[in-house]
Amino acid sequence: MSVVGQEQGIDHGSMRGYRQHTYRQVPATEACGCLAAVREAQRTSKPVKERSQKQREWYGGKYVTAASGSQPGRRILPPGDCPTDGCGQEATGRSEPARGWVRIHVQGSTMPARLFCAGPCATVGIALAELRMATPTSS
């Protein structure tokens, strides 16, 4: 007799139980504890790779090891809260921006040309300029 579809006899809360869920084609759930067992097994089964001295110097000691689990991502700042001095300031003249800066000017926008530090701030600058497009007047 086939065990496919039968939940009786599954060793819940363990990797063995998760494998039984998979074989029997019964979805594992958080309530039975099998999904938590899989996450724990994945977190602890990865070998810790030792970093060389050059790698430690390059990263300044700030690197993620495989066994450290999930790490918080970078802090997302709302538009206008960039800690870089001068980010978002109005661009004067038509000169080239300094290295690492992006000059944003969208044709038809009511927002004047501005300088942003490269990356997310420049993307926000483009979005703001596009949102401030002048509405065409109908004749």
**Distance, CA of 112 to CA of 7 (rounded, Å):** 65
The per-residue pLDDT string of the chain (139 residues; one tens digit each, 9 = 90 and over) reads: 688 888 888 989 898 999 999 988 998 888 899 999 988 888 887 666 666 777 767 766 665 555 555 555 666 666 667 888 888 888 887 777 778 888 998 888 888 889 888 878 888 889 888 888 887 765 5
118 Cβ neighbours under 8 A, 6+ residues apart:
100, 101, 102
Integer CA distances (angstroms), 138 to 9, 36, 49, 117, 135, in order: 73, 61, 66, 37, 9
Q: pTM for this structure? A: 0.41
